[in-house]
Amino acid sequence: MCDVSPRRFKDVDKRGLIQIALRTRSLEVAMMRRKSLAEADDALWSSLALQAEDSERARSRATTERHRSAVARAMAEGFVYRPVEEVAARLDLEAIVDRLRNVDRSVEPTEEKTEALLGGAPEEKDRTTVSEAFELYVSKIAFDDQYNKSDAQRKSWEKRKQVSIDYFIEREGDIPLLDITREVATRYRDWWQSRMLPQKDGAKPFTPNTVNRHIGNMRSLYLRYFKYRGETDVED
């Protein structure tokens, strides 16, 4: 894999031309590892940019991006990211040695790779709101969903998704995704069920297909956002 770090980060990332051996003969595995490493570097550079901003929110987001970078980098190396406490307490000696050997395999082991394999990236509680997650969903997470669409088709696709997100925000607020508890989800589902019944104001009831689509769009945003961050055990 070859890539070039952005010029604006040359003082903090001196690698310039980045060359990393993907250590596989499989094109499919190589593409997966290359994608994960590129994502890891994008998140790392994003965290560096946020660190330069003088605000508590920026610092919090910087920590989140640093952690996302570690998760992606660990995945590229064939490991699941685990916090250092979990590495020490739950992994057996052989598994820990395997991670250490992988770090030492590098010509020049980096702090980022060490963080990724040994769990040194601090994790900030994610306060990404529904609207912020949707922006990321459109720009990156659901890229494949839009790949073969024309500009008009892509705008129509986004508009339909946006309507579902707006319904949720109108009912429950633009809250962090982590605050969508079972209670919140149940309350939102019950509200939609009430909209399927005859309305006192004479408004036309929603059909089950429409309701399922709006709830499904929120479910997709929720699950795919956390999967993008490397968290695959999030409850639906």
3-state secondary structure 32-89: HHHHHHHHHHHHHHHHHHHHCCCCHHHHHHHHHHHHHHHHHHHHHCCCCCCCHHHHHH
- Domain stops at, among 83, 98, 118: 118
User: Is 7 in a helix, a strand, or coil?
Assistant: helix
Residue 40 pLDDT: 80
**In-domain check, residue 99:** yes
Q: Is 188 found in the same domain as 86?
A: no
**In-domain check, residue 34:** yes
> Comparing C-alpha atoms, which of 160, 218, 209, 211 is closest to residue 184?
218
Instruction: Name residue 112's amino acid.
Output: E
Residue 108 pLDDT: 57
**In-domain check, residue 233:** no
Q: How many domains, in total, are found in the chain?
A: 2
Structure tokens at 38: 């590129």
**In-domain check, residue 123:** no
Does this model's pTM top 0.85? no
Q: Is 164 found in the same domain as 76?
A: no
pLDDT at 221 over 80: yes
Q: What does each C-alpha distance from 174 to 115, 169, 190, 213 come to in angstroms?
A: 33, 5, 19, 20
Axis-axis angle for helices 27-51, 111-118 (nearest 10): 110
**In-domain check, residue 28:** yes
Rounded Cα distance, 37 and 69, in Å: 8
pLDDT digits (tens, 9 = 90+) for 31-82: 776 777 777 877 787 787 777 777 777 777 788 888 888 888 888 888 888 8
User: Which range (143-147, 186-190, 208-212) has the least confidence?
Assistant: 143-147
* pLDDT band of 107, cuts 50, 70, 90: low
Residue 4 pLDDT: 45
* pLDDT band of 26, cuts 50, 70, 90: confident
H helices of 77-207, in order, are 84-90, 93-104, 111-118, 130-136, 143-146, 151-172, 182-194
User: Which range (46-55, 132-141, 161-170, 200-209) has the least confidence?
Assistant: 46-55
**In-domain check, residue 236:** no
- Domain limits at 6? 2-118
